Amino acid sequence: MLNIIKTLTKSIREFKKETILAPVLVTVEVVMECLIPLYMVTMLERIQQDNSIENILFWGGILLVMALVSLVFGMLAGRYAAKASAGFSRNLRTDIYASIQGFSFANIDKFSPSSLVTRMTTDVTNIQNAFMMIIRIAVRSPIMLVVSVVMAFTINWKIALVFLALVPVLGVGLFLIFRKVDPIFAKVFKKYDAMNESIQENIKGIRVVKSYVREDYEIKKFGKTAQDVRADFQRGEMIMALNSPLMQFAIWTAISIVCIFGSQLIVQSSGAELNEASLSSLIAYGAQIMSALMTLSMVMVMISIATSSSERVAEVLSEKSTLTNPENPVYEVPDGSVEFRDVSFKYSAKAERFALQDVNLTIKPGQTVGILGGTGSSKTSLVNLIPRLYDVSEGEVLVGGIDVRDYDLESLRNQVSVVLQKNVLFSGTIKENLRWGNPDATDEELVEACKRAQAHEFVSSFPDGYDTYIEQGGTNVSGGQKQRLCIARALLKKPKILILDDSTSAVDTKTDALIRQAFREELPDVTKFIIAQRVSSVEDADLIVIMDGGKVVATGTHEQLLAGNKIYQEVYYSQNRMGASAAELNDIRKSGAGAAEDGGSAEGGEE
């Protein structure tokens, strides 16, 4: 827990002054508030001796000043506590977000998106509330409790013993309650993650839900998740509800005992040991003790809830990227050559099987490499190793003749443009989305990149052209348009290596051919990797790589593979049925199936 506190308190930073001032001001407020009942004893005694209007105004004026001082310090404490807690939560969210940006793909795989959203919203809010309680209420309540008990002892120690005996009884009760609810609150936040995941999944796939008329099913599924969260919170809050009646019963019992024995003492001693004014002050201190214990229990509730949230937030902040820069990194990428030397890779050290195994490839600068293979053959896993999105488990990947692990990460990735399988556009104009590739790109460079990606024509057809607003996720453009904009964005980086991961699947064959022609003629020095399902997308490549079961089973040009590789022949003739007879195709399939059985299947869940 100490490590968690150290991790979280780093986010206080510029709000240290407010964090310190709030409890200091609260201390002054509480001390003044606790002195008032004691002062009232003196005031009432002096007024009894001299009940003139001047004397009453004098002693009443002092009481009013004490109350105003307590009020002013309380208001200032509240202001500084609010500023400190709000600033702390802002820094905490910023730090979490910054930490996520530094994650490698392996780190990201560890946390679900819904869990990260919950941690940045609900969990940080819980921590913020607890933090404000700690620097204000958690300081106020113990001080008020101790000072009130001490003041009660200065009035009459015999009667004050009643309050002192009360504290350990309530402490044991509170301990048992919080010990019971803590595991419940720890479990409920995992269910929050599941609920957020359900919302995220539904909103993302709302078109599918509506097209299959599954609204009622989704409502019932979400209702079940929400019911699980409600049930756990209800259990926790029902147990927590015992807190208030327990304390009120104990405090009012103590005050009743004080009244009974105090009255007897006044009568028996004729006011010598205790008078009416002193008894009134004891009752006031009893009320303050009750108030302190009530607010302290509220703080304990918030701390109990925030403890689980703190662990989850600290887990993200403490997570270290699995990819780090070497001590003396290389900042210049000489060229776009790529070499895989005895590369094997698995997504987790605990995984039983490799996603890639014994891969050896040599690609020269400026070559176009086509990669073909079935689903699960680890095509994406292969190209992810080039910009070092993951590190190899065995062997090495070289770019420009240098191991990718020796490069500065930013320098390497600036020279490798990747258009991933899942094309993502962000909310903003087309210009703003394109400039993700190069923030300093001129309008002319944007147009040139879009022409190469065959996007300029449809962008120009929009009323606002390149200033057209793209909705979140690119929902107001078609799949093919989205792909072409993402390709243009990648080209703006002016990379030495360009990777297209099935990035033309949504465009027609004519547009696909025009894009490849533009690459061939206008980007001759850029090494291009094209993962595709269509043979036509890679048949003019300098080298075609056939993958199966995480292994490279064949390499060569279109002509070489068509002449001698059964898997390539099957794919080619299945997509060009007019070029083979039924008997030929049947023979190819039999041979191809036998070759595929030798490869096995890849692990890792990616192509």
Pair type for strands 368-373 and 394-399? unpaired
Q: What is the pLDDT of residue 474?
A: 77
552: pLDDT strictly greater than 90: yes
Q: What is residue 263's predicted lDDT score, i.e. its pLDDT?
A: 85
pLDDT at position 597 = 39
Collapsed DSSP state (helix, strand, coil) of residue 322: coil
Mean pLDDT of 184-210: 74
What are the angstrom distances between the C-alpha of 430 and each of 105, 459, 483? 27, 8, 13
Whole-number Å distance between alpha carbons of 560 and 225: 56
Q: Which residues pair with 363 in a beta bridge?
A: 338
Above 60 in pLDDT, residue 189? yes
Q: What whole-number distance in Å separates Cα of residue 53 and Cα of residue 598?
A: 107
- Pairwise CA distance, residues 511 & 488, whole Å: 14
How much of the chain exceeds pLDDT 70, in percent? 94
Q: Provide the mean pLDDT of the chain.
A: 84
Which is nearest to 351 in space by CA: 317, 386, 378, 318? 378
pLDDT of residue 186: 67
DSSP string, 298-318: HHHHHHHHHHHHHHHHHHHHH
The model's pLDDT over 38-82, given as tens digits with 9 standing for 90+, comes to 788 788 778 888 888 888 888 889 989 988 998 999 899 989 999
Beta bridge partners of 278: none
- Of the pLDDT bands very low, low, confident and very high (cuts 50, 70, 90), residue 375 is confident
122-136, 240-254, 359-373: range with highest mean pLDDT: 359-373
Q: What is the DSSP string of 31-54?
A: HHHHHHHHHHHHHHHHHHH---HH
Helices marked H in 241-274 — which ranges? Answer: 243-269
The answer, yes or no, to whether residue 380 has pLDDT greater than 60, is yes
Q: What is the pLDDT of residue 582?
A: 45
Residues 6 or more apart whose CB falls under 8 angstroms from that of 21 comprise 76, 77, 80
Q: Which of 532, 506, 513 is nearest to 423 (CA)?
A: 506
Q: What is the C-alpha to C-alpha distance for residues 224 and 216, in angstroms, rounded to an integer?
A: 12
37-51, 373-387, 460-474: range with lowest mean pLDDT: 37-51
Confidence of residue 165 (pLDDT cuts 50, 70, 90): confident
Looking at residue 144, what is its pLDDT? Answer: 82
Q: Which residue has the higher pLDDT, 428 or 349?
A: 428
Expressed in percent and rounded to 5, the helix, strand and coil fractions of the chain are 65, 10, 25
How is residue 594 written in tokens? 């036998």
